[in-house]
Amino acid sequence: MLETEGQLNLIDVFLDDDAKQLKEQVYHAYHVLYQTKQKIDRMANDPEQIEREIDLIKFQMADIDVAELVAADEDIENDYKKIDKAARLITDLDRLKQTIDTDGEGYDLNSLINETTRLCQALVDVYPSYQTAAEQLTDFSYFLAEFSQTIAHDVEALSFSEQQKNAIEARLDTVNTLKKKYGKSIEQINQYRDNLDTRLEALINLTQLKDELQKTYDKQRAHYFAKCEKLTVARRAAATRFVDRLKEQLNALQFTEIALEVAFSERQRLAETGRDVVDIQISLNKGMPLAALKNIASGGEISRIMLAIKNLIAKRDQVPVLLFDEIDNGISGVTASVVAEKLYCVARYHQVICISHLAQVALMADRHFLIVKDTLDDMTIANVYSLTKIQRIEEIARLVSGKLTDEAQRQQAKNMIERAAEQQKLLIENLRSYSE
């Protein structure tokens, strides 16, 4: 809270509901503005760079367009493999066809089937069951004839001229080159080509787009400033409430001559929290000029001021653990009791750790630990011991007397602890009533 951002967050705690919504609007307006600014910044400002990029895009477009890619180009590699294996495939297909049908030159499978069919039909009068075999052999003969035609067609399809082979090789080289540059498939290359159109149009219209974005940015910036101005007014009102409430707390802590104000200045850079920079300025003694909190107060005074602030925002503060050191420095009597009560109230909403040498402060704690410094081999070691109820009475008595204790002092300490417990109950009831 000694830094400006922490102090701004502190003032914002005292904003009313409408002002908190306004703060959210400032946050949103800033991020919309920031995104527009990023788009503008990403646009190239160097005309020569734009021209170079346009030339590159046009080259790539021509490189793809001249190839006149089609979907069938995706299978061009398979076509090339067929050509490469065509000679061996033609030989194997020819042998298969010769096995089935030699076109009357010698015996083949077709001739043997036909002869077998003729013999079966000749025996049908004696063996009627052979009729079925003859019919099946006839059907198979038809199948062989069709299969032979299929083989002949496949042989013809594999018959490539040297010119055709060279053309397919050249096409494959073209397709593979484009794939290396623009995508792993014909579809990806075409998508890349479409993106080139979009990018080229964007570059050609870059000046127009940038002007439009700049106009949008100016409108958004004016909207942001307008919201910031309203938020500043709301924050000044919140600062007044903060000062009044904090003075009450500090007066209770015996800062009776205190002067306090919140100074506002304008942030140089845009921010999601608005344009306000606040500085809590304070004077602890009458006639002394106001100065920044961190420059005017001692460690103990700052701790008590922080305690007063924490009392104001205890229920809304998100810090889980608070550590107060030297908070009782230079105080005693009524002031020490008030400090103790405020520590206890803050501890209802946070884990409070307080290092104290005053019995009034220690009495209000829920648990006690004793810190003892020892030396071991020329080293100083701090040991922390959790105190039992009996040990607590002993240490309270020691804080009061400042020396070794006797039974009367221990009884006094016990009575003080009991009175502190009653005071704690009253404070809790007051907190409940305040909450309701």
| Neighbouring-strand partners of residue 379 | 376
Q: The tokens of 288 are what?
A: 């002394």
Q: CB-hemisphere CA count at 13 Å for 115?
A: 6
Q: Which residues of the chain have pLDDT under 70?
A: 1-2, 44-47, 87, 103-107, 159-162, 296-300, 315-318, 433-436
Distance CA 309, CA 345 (A): 12
Residue 42 confidence (pLDDT)? 78
Between CA 273 and CA 267 the distance in angstroms is: 10
Structure tokens, 377:
């081999």
φ/ψ (deg, to 5) at 325: -120, 135
Give the pLDDT of residue 105. 64
Contacts of 39-42 spanning 24+ positions with Cβ under 8 A: 39/213, 40/210, 40/213, 40/214, 40/217
Closest CA to 323 of 364, 360, 354, 368: 354
254 neighbors 335 (Cβ within 8 angstroms): yes
Q: Residue 66 carries which DSSP code?
A: T
Q: Give the tokens for residue 263.
A: 């100074």
Residues 6+ apart with CB under 8 A from 142: none
| Residue located via tokens 């309701």 | 436
Q: What is the per-residue pLDDT for 235?
A: 96
How much is the pLDDT for 298?
Answer: 66
HSE on the CB side for 341, CA within 13 Å?
Answer: 19
Q: What is the pLDDT of residues 210-260, one digit of tens each?
A: 888 889 999 999 999 999 999 999 999 999 999 998 998 888 787 888 889
Q: What is the pTM of this model?
A: 0.54
What does the alpha-carbon distance between residue 193 and residue 185 come to, in Å, rounded to a whole number? Answer: 12
362-389 pLDDT tens trace: 999 999 999 888 888 888 898 999 999 9
Extents of the domains making up the chain:
1-31+228-296, 59-201, 297-436
Cα Rg, the chain, nearest whole Å: 48
Strand pairing partners for 370?
A: 385
Q: Which residue from 248, 249, 245 is spatially nearest to 237, judged by alpha carbons? A: 245
Length of the chain: 436
Tokens describing residue 435: 């909450």
Fold for the domain defined by 297-436: Rossmann fold (3.40.50)
In the chain, the percentage of residues whose pLDDT exceeds 70 is: 93
